[in-house]
Structure 1
Amino acid sequence: AHFVFPWYQALVPTTGGQPTPGWSLEDHMSFASSLSITKTILGSSTPQANVFFGNQALTVAMARLLNLSAASLRALYPKKFDFFCVVPLPYVSDAIAEAKYCLSDLGGAGITTMTNHEGLYLGNSALDGFWSYVNSRTDKPIVYVHPTTPYMKINGKFIEANPTLYIPGLVEFYFETARCYMDLSYSGTLTKYTNIRWIAAHVGGAFPAILDRMIKSLGPTMEASLKSIYNTRIFWDSAGPTYPNQVRGLRGYGIPDSQLVFGTDYPYAPAGSYAGAQAGFINDPDLNQAQVNAIFRNNTVALFGNKLNL
């Protein structure tokens, strides 16, 4: 789930083309109780720290402010909240410093990034130094990737690379996740950094629909390697109306239920949608009760281990 402090909502009045929702601790607690959620791992939604494009100092400051805000919630309610650390990519040295501080000093449960940061996708070689640091950590950090608006830098200016008439949150976010994981696959980032575990939002967005076409173009050796990674080091969260239909795209590739975890997107989804999305996997005819329990809780506990305050 996400959190939106009033100061952040004031800085980011729209998200993906829609009004940024309000959020309060009281509302979040009520929402969690209504779905029998006892622990929330908070992550900042887009644009995370990249509110001021091209401004390195403000991006670094935003990452620190978001992390301190999330850490304050965890400090107040350690049994209710953990959080993902925001990093000020594409500024690699600053992102390394913030990740180190947030993971080691603030006790973040993992790292959150966006699918692109100022137009740089996660497999871009300019970010290799950051992934090398993350991969070198003995705690094997978990990286949660959230979609964002696609951007391109042309003649020194950032432009929104949205080719349709519709707002990015309704169309491009799903393709952004696919674009990002294709980039991580093609670039070799997934195969190179073997200690990193990833969480793909919304059961991968459009990625399952093009997975076969992508990996079969790489030859049998790379196909086998990537399939192994998708089955063991990528976890796929359920946020949105992703069950029982969309998730079948993953199951069709043999991705085991152990890689499926629960997510909500709160408070960014329509208010009446959360219970229905949860019911989608609770009542999924392809799942038995043990599998439902695993997706709702046990798989997440196994993934994070002692990184969570349970």
Structure 2
Amino acid sequence: MSVPKIDLHAHFFSPAYREALKKAGHFPGPDGLPYTPEWSPEAHLAFMEKNNVSKSILSCSSPGTHLIPGDDEFGRQVTREVNEYAADLKRKYPTKFGFFASLPLPDIPSALLEIDYALDRLDADGFIFLSNYHGMYLGDPRLEPVYAKLQARRATVFVHPTAPCNAHACNHDPTPARVLKSAPLVDAYVLPMMEYFFDSTRTFVDLLLSGTAAAYPDITFIVPHCGNALPSVLDRAFALSTWPLAVSTSRTVHPLTAPVVKEMFAKQFMFDLAGVPMPSLIHHILRWTTSDRLVYGSDVPYTPWVVAEKALQAMEEELPKLFGEQEIRDVYHGNAARLLARKPTL
């Protein structure tokens, strides 16, 4: 059946952001890609019309807006430009585009200012976080002031993977080549093939076991790519969190159980269906959550337009095997509409 869709995982490029990527050494493409994807509002709107996407919530993907470690001024400049550009698109096409604002993390004072600016001046629909910021993962206690403000605003946080980063390597090599030092085989395959899934999994396990997610229950987190590898590692992570070895780590580990986390997922987490969830991955995430926590995502233009169309065709073949018509309507549209209606507080 043809159902209108809200796309919560879609990206954009402003002209100035392309130039910023080049200045920061992300050439010919970000995260080791051999190209920078082509994008324009017109091409995006054409994709939406062809595939019955009623609204796209745009975000600036990896490597984000704080592009050069230690250069906070450049990070603030790029962040504000990206957010202003997205806000202009939302004003021009209010029924078609929304956006998740970027933050200049790990520059925390500037991020706190940008949260208020993005919500109060730009009408952002929430925020995009990367899985790490130059080696700062999302359970890091240094992020507590940011989470406290987001909690007070009841904000939505869409998390997107980026290159895995050993903090020592990042801090001592401020070039994009640092990713080659961070993990085995990281230079053997393009990062979106494996490392994006692993880094998203790493940061969400950190959010859970550090106690961060539980401490801020009014923040809604959107997990990308149908949960990544989370369903495969959570049982083991929770079991080991109760072992004596857990106290010897650099984080304070908060022991968790599967029932507790399933309850958190049911109240505080959404899972998008970008990133080849069909035919296998969808079954794994449904061991941990239900259809009312699933939302559509295309991941264009990083997922090329034609490939995103094929992924949607696979989705439309597989979802009727799992859900009834109303559940499918909610996955494509209703769940996201309810999330977007949950406006941040003033």
Q: Displacement, 1:283?
A: 1.7
Supply the distance in 2 between the matched residues of 1:9 and 1:206 (Cα, whole angstroms).
31
Work out whether 1:256 is the aligned partner of 2:290.
yes
Out of 273, 294, 300, which is 1:238 matched to? 273
Using the TM superposition, name which of 196-205 and 166-175 deviates more: 166-175
| Structure 2 partner of 1:222 | 256
Supply the distance in 1 between the matched residues of 2:147 and 2:108 (Cα, whole angstroms).
9
Contact 2:209 2:255 in 1 (8 A): no
| Structure 2 partner of 1:293 | 329
Supply the distance in 1 between the matched residues of 2:193 and 2:69 (Cα, whole angstroms).
23
Contact 2:14 2:82 in 1 (8 A): no
Unpaired runs of at least 5, structure 1: none
| Structure 2 partner of 1:5 | 14
Contact 1:54 1:118 in 2 (8 A): no
Out of 131, 137, 154, which is 2:147 matched to? 131
Out of 51, 65, 77, which is 2:81 matched to? 65
What SS does structure 2 have at the residue aligned with 1:249?
A: helix
What SS does structure 1 have at the residue aligned with 2:167?
A: strand
Task: After TM superposition, list the pairs within 5 Å mapping 1:135-214 onto structure 2.
Answer: 135-137=151-153, 140-154=154-168, 156-158=171-173, 159-160=178-179, 161-164=182-185, 165-214=188-237
Amino acid at match of 2:215: K
The root-mean-square deviation of aligned C-alpha atoms, in Å, is 1.8
With normalisation by structure 1, the TM-score equals 0.93
Unpaired runs of at least 5, structure 2: 1-9, 22-26, 243-253
Q: Displacement, 1:306?
A: 5.5
- 1:98-124 deviation digits (Å, cap 9, x = unpaired): 011001111000011100011100110
Q: Displacement, 1:307?
A: 4.2
Supply the distance in 2 between the matched residues of 1:279 and 1:292 (Cα, whole angstroms).
14
Contact 2:20 2:78 in 1 (8 A): no
Amino acid at match of 1:112: I
Work out whether 1:86 is the aligned partner of 2:102.
yes
Q: Displacement, 1:204?
A: 1.7
What SS does structure 2 have at the residue aligned with 1:86?
A: coil
Percent identity over the alignment is: 29
Work out whether 1:302 is the aligned partner of 2:338.
yes
Aligned length: 305
Supply the distance in 2 between the matched residues of 1:150 and 1:57 (Cα, whole angstroms).
24
Amino acid at match of 1:182: V
Amino acid at match of 2:214: T
Supply the distance in 1 between the matched residues of 2:191 and 2:342 (Cα, whole angstroms).
36
Q: Displacement, 1:282?
A: 1.8
Contact 1:191 1:226 in 2 (8 A): no
| Structure 2 partner of 1:47 | 63
Q: Displacement, 1:302?
A: 1.1
| Structure 1 partner of 2:30 | 15
